[in-house]
Structure 1
């Protein structure tokens, strides 16, 4: 069922989120571009250290992010006073995560050398990772606030806050990397520090909207600053599978990435550059997925499943159109896009050779990414997080096992490993689409359990 009205509604809600997520992609893009001005080792280290950071916090990020669906469901039910209570519980979760994340920081920092990375790479990956982990509490709180405003449909607040944060981050990171404006030249540590500082400033911008007098009165914010056992129980019941699924999928991806980087510096740098361009597709599509989760959650809360069907079809139209255009660009201009990251004075031929073939693979899977994100946003919004967890974990674990065989046992080359990765994303898209269009997630008795406290 397709509705032009719902398409417009989703587009209005998703566009600020796409801009917001795109701003994040731009921030990462800028950091890696600045680091490429030093050398290709810094680029590879920023990918290894950055992805390892996201893996380390993604379990808690997945739980906190589910606040989007919870808030949207309460909003759809018109129980507005419950919405800010979700934010308070998210802060409690962020606080509770800190001892665990401190232990993770100490243990994971040793993994870069244990997996066989070049010592020059390890020397950069480790401090980059540690500085980002030091700011983990702020990243989680920022995520909780963004999820809240998305859940109540005020995605422009998210866009404004995140865009301002990125506009602060880019010059700050540049100054800290290269030692401008009287600041010390910290190299890759400066890139991480700039990201943390910008994240803290972004929380301040969110707070201006959150504590606005009209908003405080409408949503009874003053009464929300307490532990709410029933909301926390529901948060963990539905958010835990989401967090575990996010963690396993990111962990297996990170292990694959680290294994792939063991092919050599050129292969690792090529992967970093390809994924940098991939972010311009994947990260904005995450914005669409977040908007879909919010709208689906709202319609589930209101009991209007016909509108939920319209959201799915509209999401497919937007996602496949956007990713299809980018796929064509990635294929036609693959060499030119790689050359953007050529470090001055270095021989770029090896990176160009492997990277151009990887770009073809990326052009093949970006539309599969769009299907995955539309479907996962739908299932999360409807509370079908347990199935999503089981399916995603199974797919990613099988992918990793195959990669271990390909890379370590059969000792195949990087392009064979990359082909397996591309095929896995295609299979993932087919399985997720099958679940969404089977309709089992929308059974009334199952939705009633989702909404129960």
Structure 2
């Protein structure tokens, strides 16, 4: 192996991934700001946002996972120079994402009564219900936005979703500030104010991205004059066959993190608040890996269209290497600052909640050490999954993610996460087991497929 064969791809890979990373970090930064602002209200409010978002994350995972089917198909059509194929993929993907967004909103609202039977603190549930109502409705513009985003990524126009996300984030932070705390004459709405900010900003984000794409020559013809209801069964079927397994892959991963939130709730509001802090911080670093995963999906999709499988394997492995480097850096940051970072989320000068605050910080600091360890495997599994989506290989990876997270990871979280075992740390040890298993199995799958494709092409030559 000559290292320069991989490092020479770093510049273009990062150029492609950087806008995606910044856009995704923007989403997570808003969540960070939400948590910091809400955390000033108390541990119960922070735990309520965590509980409400646990339902939203499950719905989002299905919608976002489904929408990823659009990117490799558009990337393949772009490499082939086939406009009609690309527009068909986008139109049918937009229709399916719109329908899915409405269904996910209705399902999330219908699931609210589950909060009362999940052994969660009562005061946390009462705070979470009104928050969930508004944020659930924001799923509709979010999933439609994802259709536009995945299409834009497929054309390698990754900076436009980033611009839309930045605008939405700035707006969200401003609305949160005035409505959570009642500034500038606005009513003090607490965590419901945070939900209003999320809802408004997601509608703005959607329409701003459409406007940006409608202005750009490369994308204008795709996003204008769309015959929305003139659909072909075959195109819908192809997107669904790719999208549903992709949705389930993301669902299996997000669901185990959601299970961690619920399991933490059984340990009390302080454990749940600490879990939210560690989860929010590790989500930020995960967004870098997610951005690289999108770059892997685009570049593998392009090379698949060109049928250059040797370059495909080399380029994907170069992205794995970039992800590994970032993951090591993040792991070191978490280890060095594990006791300091939780302080960002709590009010250390609040005498009323002082005892709770100290416990929240202590638990969160321990969880960050576990998060530091799984940075590397978490990064590898999501980037490899992106490469496999670029190959349009979805069924076996879906089975792998189910086995890794629910037959390996969740049982460890459940048994080690009991109060008389390791508590919150035990829950996160299960996450570590699941992510590590997924990383190993997915990499074996990618290596097997690419070697097979290279061998087949060699035989045909």
Q: TM-score, normalised by structure 1?
A: 0.92
Contact between 2:261 and 2:276, CA under 8 Å: does it hold in 1? Answer: no
Residue of 345, 354, 365 corresponding to 1:356 = 365
Structure 1 residues 371 and 103: CA distance shift in structure 2, 3 A? same
Deviation at 1:382, TM superposition (A): 0.7
Distance in structure 2 (CA, Å) of the matches to 1:238 and 1:149:
18
Residue of 275, 282, 288 corresponding to 1:284 = 288
Structure 1 residues 410 and 288: CA distance shift in structure 2, 3 A? same
Contact between 1:45 and 1:122, CA under 8 Å: does it hold in 2? Answer: yes
Distance in structure 2 (CA, Å) of the matches to 1:372 and 1:19:
20
Contact between 2:370 and 2:428, CA under 8 Å: does it hold in 1? Answer: yes
Which residue does 1:229 correspond to in 2?
233
- State the SS of the aligned residue for 2:156: coil
- State the SS of the aligned residue for 1:256: helix
Distance in structure 2 (CA, Å) of the matches to 1:19 and 1:409:
38
Over residues 227-247 of structure 1, what are the superposed CA-to-partner deviations in whole Å (9 max), with x where a residue is unaligned? 233322210111111112222
Contact between 2:100 and 2:143, CA under 8 Å: does it hold in 1? Answer: no
Distance in structure 1 (CA, Å) of the matches to 2:113 and 2:393:
36
Distance in structure 1 (CA, Å) of the matches to 2:402 and 2:231:
31
1:27 aligns with 2:30: yes
Deviation at 1:134, TM superposition (A): 1.1
Which residue does 2:43 correspond to in 1?
40
Displacement over 4 Å in runs of 4+: 216-221, 407-412, 444-447
Over residues 96-130 of structure 1, what are the superposed CA-to-partner deviations in whole Å (9 max), with x where a residue is unaligned? 23563354234321112211111111012222222
Which residue does 1:185 correspond to in 2?
188
Distance in structure 2 (CA, Å) of the matches to 1:56 and 1:94:
12
Which residue does 1:13 correspond to in 2?
16
What do you get for the CA RMSD once the two structures are aligned?
A: 2.4
Distance in structure 2 (CA, Å) of the matches to 1:444 and 1:314:
17
Deviation at 1:409, TM superposition (A): 11
Contact between 1:175 and 1:181, CA under 8 Å: does it hold in 2? Answer: yes
Which residue does 2:108 correspond to in 1?
105
- State the SS of the aligned residue for 2:186: coil
Deviation at 1:250, TM superposition (A): 2.2
Contact between 1:176 and 1:190, CA under 8 Å: does it hold in 2? Answer: yes
Distance in structure 2 (CA, Å) of the matches to 1:326 and 1:360:
11
Which residue does 1:450 correspond to in 2?
none
Deviation at 1:163, TM superposition (A): 1.2
Deviation at 1:57, TM superposition (A): 3.8
Contact between 2:160 and 2:213, CA under 8 Å: does it hold in 1? Answer: no
- State the SS of the aligned residue for 1:340: helix
Structure 1 residues 354 and 281: CA distance shift in structure 2, 3 A? same
Q: TM-score, normalised by structure 2?
A: 0.90
Contact between 1:253 and 1:396, CA under 8 Å: does it hold in 2? Answer: no
1:95 aligns with 2:98: yes
Deviation at 1:211, TM superposition (A): 1.6
Contact between 2:417 and 2:423, CA under 8 Å: does it hold in 1? Answer: yes
Distance in structure 2 (CA, Å) of the matches to 1:301 and 1:162:
29
Structure 1 residues 445 and 197: CA distance shift in structure 2, 3 A? farther
Residue of 231, 241, 246 corresponding to 1:242 = 246
Distance in structure 2 (CA, Å) of the matches to 1:245 and 1:441:
23
Distance in structure 2 (CA, Å) of the matches to 1:268 and 1:293:
34
Distance in structure 2 (CA, Å) of the matches to 1:283 and 1:67:
20
Residue of 433, 436, 442 corresponding to 1:432 = 442
1:151 aligns with 2:154: yes
Moved more, 434-443 or 109-118: 434-443
1:302 aligns with 2:311: no
Distance in structure 1 (CA, Å) of the matches to 2:392 and 2:264:
35
Moved more, 214-223 or 417-426: 214-223
Contact between 1:323 and 1:367, CA under 8 Å: does it hold in 2? Answer: yes
> Following superposition of structure 1 onto structure 2, how do residues 53-64 of structure 1 map, counting pairs within 5 Å?
53-64=56-67
Contact between 1:296 and 1:381, CA under 8 Å: does it hold in 2? Answer: yes
1:372 aligns with 2:375: no
Which residue does 1:265 correspond to in 2?
269
Residue of 319, 325, 329 corresponding to 2:329 = 325
Contact between 2:70 and 2:239, CA under 8 Å: does it hold in 1? Answer: yes
- State the SS of the aligned residue for 1:273: helix
Over residues 218-277 of structure 1, what are the superposed CA-to-partner deviations in whole Å (9 max), with x where a residue is unaligned? 658536643233322210111111112222332233123201221111111111111111
Over residues 405-453 of structure 1, what are the superposed CA-to-partner deviations in whole Å (9 max), with x where a residue is unaligned? 4446976533233223223222222222222223368638999xxxxxx
Deviation at 1:167, TM superposition (A): 1.4
- State the SS of the aligned residue for 2:310: helix
Distance in structure 2 (CA, Å) of the matches to 1:146 and 1:40:
35
Which residue does 1:214 correspond to in 2?
217
Residue of 372, 379, 393 corresponding to 2:402 = 393
Over residues 120-166 of structure 1, what are the superposed CA-to-partner deviations in whole Å (9 max), with x where a residue is unaligned? 11012222222111122101111111101110001111211111111
Residue of 414, 420, 427 corresponding to 1:417 = 427
- State the SS of the aligned residue for 2:231: coil
Structure 1 residues 102 and 234: CA distance shift in structure 2, 3 A? same
Structure 2, unpaired ranges of 5+: none
Distance in structure 2 (CA, Å) of the matches to 1:409 and 1:442:
48
- State the SS of the aligned residue for 1:186: coil
Structure 1, unpaired ranges of 5+: 448-453
Question: How many residues end up aligned between the 2 structures?
Answer: 447
Over residues 73-104 of structure 1, what are the superposed CA-to-partner deviations in whole Å (9 max), with x where a residue is unaligned? 11122112322333322332133235633542
Moved more, 384-393 or 396-405: 396-405
Which residue does 1:197 correspond to in 2?
200
Contact between 1:382 and 1:441, CA under 8 Å: does it hold in 2? Answer: no
Moved more, 113-122 or 237-246: 237-246
